[in-house]
Chain A
Amino acid sequence: MRKLRRRYVLFRLHREGPAIDVHQLSAAIRKNFLSLFGEVSVADSRLFIGMYNDDEDTGILQCNAESLDKLLASAALITAIGNTQVSFEPKRASGTLKGLQR
């Protein structure tokens, strides 16, 4: 089996309204990704939000390198999660966690 290349993305979630947790965020991205690209793409994406600081609204998501651009496009189109209006901003992407923190 071909080894999957991973990408790590540092992001910031601008919001108006109550704080949201990592599960809500990850579900919202998956839902939008599913709507835009379908079930197979969601399955292949291997999306996982490893770190999310809801005080600073920043986090790191990881995914399959081939799904990266589509995934970030899906996240950019999210306008609200629950009662919170949001604007997703990808900050930086890297192939390693270390590279991202540098």
Chain B
Amino acid sequence: MPLDLNVRVPKFDKLTDFTRMAARIGLTGFAVPLPMSNPITKTNDGIVLMTRIDLAGRGAESIKRQLPRIRQRTSVIAVPLSDIEASNWAAEDSRVDLLTIAEPSKEYTIRESTAKLAGQNGIALEVPIAPLLRTSGLDRSRILKVYRESVATAIDSGMAVVLSSFASEPILMRAPSAMWHIGILLGMDKRKSKECVYQVPDQILSRSERKVKSQSFTPGIEVVREDS
């Protein structure tokens, strides 16, 4: 199931345009940063809509405070790669789904140690495609450098990679077949690139469905007594 985990729908009234485009290009669902009553819903067109939150704040402490409140209300939780402390903390917390290269122009690449931790906890590296669409020439080559280095580090460290559009307009969304070709530009082979588009987002959705259930616990926690 090809899903786009990062579509920047600005308002609810624009949602129909994005849903229509998703159906046209062959996506089965996408995640939006809008508050919805259910973390995962299905539209009449059969498109799966997921809620997404990008945890941004000043350092790990701020992110830690936000996380417990939102996990059961949100299907995709992403933490931008910026501060090393926050990134390393997020890479260890399996409530987080994605580490995002949010500002490729600032040349933040993922560190090997962070990628290893994230790989062990099933957290994927998210590569947004929109910056590649907005730029050209030298600016685009700088972004490609950051992306290619990060993708290589993630794959070598056993971390999954997800390609998402980061589209703020429907026309900036890309078909899954176009997305995996862009993955080849990021240094992946065909098989890996298809996996990033068709399999990894689907696995994140399935895991999310389990996480948002109230009976779900983080690995390592055991129920020792239940009050009846």
Contact = CB atoms under 8 A, between A and B. Distances in A.
Interface of A: 14-16, 35-36, 69-70, 72-73, 75-77, 79, 85-91
Interface string B195-214: 00000000000000000000
B172 A91 contact: no
B4 to A, nearest CB: 12
A100 to B, nearest CB: 14
Prevailing SS type, chain B contact patch = helix
B136 interface: yes
A16 B171 CA distance: 7
B223 interface: no
Interface of B: 21, 24-26, 132-134, 136-137, 140, 169-175, 177-179, 181-182, 184-185, 190
The 6 closest A-B pairs by CB, nearest first: A76-B178, A89-B175, A73-B181, A72-B181, A85-B171, A79-B133
Nearest to A90: B177
Contacts of B182: 73, 76-77
Contacts of A88: 178
Given A14-B21, A14-B25, A87 B173 contact: yes
B190 A87 contact: no
Contacts, number: 59
19 contacts: A14-B25, A15-B171, A16-B170, A35-B140, A69-B184, A72-B178, A76-B178, A76-B181, A77-B185, A79-B134, A79-B172, A87-B171, A87-B174, A87-B178, A88-B178, A89-B174, A89-B178, A90-B181, A91-B177
Most buried by B among A35, A89, A91: A89
Contacts of A91: 177
A21 B26 CA distance: 25
Given A15-B171, A89-B26, 15 more contacts: A14-B171, A35-B136, A69-B181, A70-B185, A72-B181, A76-B174, A77-B185, A85-B169, A85-B171, A85-B172, A87-B25, A87-B172, A89-B175, A89-B178, A91-B177
A13 to B, nearest CB: 11
Contact of B25 (A70, A75, A77, A89): A89
B179 A76 contact: yes
B184 A73 contact: yes
Contacts of B140: 35
Most buried by A among B173, B182, B185: B185
A86 B171 CA distance: 6
Contacts of A86: 171
A58 to B, nearest CB: 13
Contacts of A75: 178
Contact of B133 (A14, A73, A77): A77
A55 to B, nearest CB: 16
A87 B181 CA distance: 13
Contacts of A16: 170-171
A14 to B, nearest CB: 6
Nearest to A70: B184
A85 B172 CA distance: 8
